[in-house]
Structure 1
Amino acid sequence: MTILAFDCSTQSCSAAVLRNQDVLACRSRAMTRGQSEALMPMIAAVLDEAGLGWPEISLIGVTVGPGTFTGIRIGLAAARGLALAAHLPIAGIGTCEALAHGVAAEERRGRTLLVVVDSKRADLFVQAFDERLVPLGPPAGMAPVKALDLAPGPLLLAGDAAERLVALRPDAVLSSAPVHPDARIVARLAAVRHAAGTALPAEPIYLRPPDVTLPARREPGQSEPVCR
């Protein structure tokens, strides 16, 4: 099976092509904005580097959140559009799960892993896993002090907002794993989840409403403002 996978659900953008677990091409870039301009050229670059065309791709893997609203939307829109055009299935992978699988087994041994993703607000997006990477619950958005209740005992922290919890749990260990999802890991998870029928649907996991301001309600008969 040949898999194209990509992620832009946090402050980065990455894409990879794997065939039977072997990495054929991978690109990654940390970025706080600009994923909409970067993702498609990055996908084209990894396909070109792998020497593959769309007929040779079997599956698309994509992260579905939680993370940044814009990044999640960009990734899912790309996955849906490409899947529709190339008649391919999509395997959705949770952002927290992708991050958890980037943490080395040696670090996880004897500890509960808490993946912590920046929400751009005072709260955090978190999900706890045991040392075998079995989820201890679904991802959730909550205050930092509440997040620690998800992971009693020896604690390992990972993710781009993990450092925010260190002050609250000085005994916690900060993982050396990358703080953003790796498209190679997303691809491997997509292969396993698709084969088992346990992949997430290509739908966003936002956990809270987007930060938007709705236009003021117009009274009946009130005309639309004129552009000048």
Structure 2
Amino acid sequence: MPDLTLGFDTSAAHCAAALLSGEDCLASRHEEMGRGQAERLVPLLEELLAEAGVCWRDVTRIGVGIGPGNFTGVRIAVSAARGLSLSLRAPALGVSITEATQFGSKGPVLAAVAAPRERVYLEGFRMARPVSLDLHDLDALPEGLTEPGLTCIGSAAEAVAQRIGAAVAPAAFSPAEAIARIAAKREVVAGERPAPLYLRAADAAPPSDPPPRILD
């Protein structure tokens, strides 16, 4: 059997995973959920492996969504990937959600992923004018985003396309399958581990109580 790549993501309100054998997707799951990813992720992965008729030791590479997205969700997936990488002795590679969103597309693409409070994560691919990954207010998008043949893809694609006059297209792959396909072909760098990709401050406010006094 060719090398097996396990990809998964919990950066948004879902728990998603896919298993690839070479170019073939052996199994895929996508469960919508606002919370509970920490408890659901490993059982879901085990169900995925069982469905494909393989076991943990058959996995040779791991791909994980590193965000940007939900803080807790990103940490859950990245921590799981690191732990599995150590236990399975398989490399883990991080993939941004915007890269996964546009994977498999052609021509100029603006990946648009919804963020809280009427904001959006944007990143351009194959565009004449480079658009680096950043967080923007939907009603205050940067000027000059539109160009001939531009397509918006992602959970906020329609909202962005309406504002800039671009076309909309669906993603070619589910998030987890795209992550797995990217990770399967990405070069492994020795000692490099996936890390969360954050572009905004945490929603949780710091505690207002003073820190405890440490006694000698």
Q: Who is 2:113 aligned against? A: 117
Aligned residues: 211
One-letter code of the match for 1:86? L
Secondary structure in structure 1 of the residue aligned to 2:19: strand
Q: Who is 2:143 aligned against? A: 149
Q: Who is 2:10 aligned against? A: 8
Q: Deviations along 1:175-203, whole A, 9 cap, x unmatched?
A: 1337x9522221110011135x59x8410
One-letter code of the match for 1:140? D
Q: Distance in 2 between matches of 1:93 and 1:87?
A: 19
User: Stretches of 4+ moved more than 3 A in 1?
Assistant: 134-138, 145-150
Secondary structure in structure 2 of the residue aligned to 1:204: coil
Q: Distance in 2 between matches of 1:93 and 1:149?
A: 27
Unaligned segments of structure 2, at least 5 residues? none
Secondary structure in structure 2 of the residue aligned to 1:160: coil
**Alignment check: 8 A CA contact 1:100 1:113 kept:** yes
Q: Which of residues 159, 166, 173 in structure 2 aligns to 1:164?
A: 159
* Alpha carbons of structure 1 residues 9 and 181: separation in structure 2 relative to 1, 3 Å: farther
Q: Who is 1:208 aligned against? A: 200
Q: Deviations along 1:141-193, whole A, 9 cap, x unmatched?
A: 12235545363313311111222223322x31111337x95222211100111
**Alignment check: 8 A CA contact 1:96 1:126 kept:** yes
Secondary structure in structure 2 of the residue aligned to 1:153: coil
Secondary structure in structure 1 of the residue aligned to 2:194: coil
Q: Distance in 1 between matches of 2:120 and 2:71?
A: 14
* Alpha carbons of structure 1 residues 41 and 102: separation in structure 2 relative to 1, 3 Å: farther
Q: Distance in 1 between matches of 2:166 and 2:131?
A: 20
Please list, as runs of the form range in 1=range in 2, the aligned pairs for 1:71-110 lying within 5 A after superposition.
71-103=73-105, 105=106, 108=107
* Alpha carbons of structure 1 residues 23 and 193: separation in structure 2 relative to 1, 3 Å: same
Q: Which of residues 116, 120, 123 in structure 2 aligns to 1:127?
A: 123
Q: Distance in 2 between matches of 1:148 and 1:95?
A: 20
Q: Who is 2:179 aligned against? A: 186
One-letter code of the match for 2:118? A
One-letter code of the match for 1:194? E
Q: Distance in 2 between matches of 1:172 and 1:135?
A: 15
* Alpha carbons of structure 1 residues 219 and 16: separation in structure 2 relative to 1, 3 Å: closer
TM-score calculated relative to the size of structure 1: 0.80
Identity of aligned residues (%): 34
* Alpha carbons of structure 1 residues 150 and 36: separation in structure 2 relative to 1, 3 Å: farther
* Alpha carbons of structure 1 residues 211 and 219: separation in structure 2 relative to 1, 3 Å: closer
One-letter code of the match for 1:35? Q
Unaligned segments of structure 1, at least 5 residues? 222-228
Q: Deviations along 1:34-93, whole A, 9 cap, x unmatched?
A: 322322121001111111122211111101111111221111111112112222210111
Q: Distance in 1 between matches of 2:131 and 2:75?
A: 24
**Alignment check: 8 A CA contact 2:122 2:131 kept:** no
Residue 11 of structure 1 and its aligned partner are, at CA, apart by 2.5
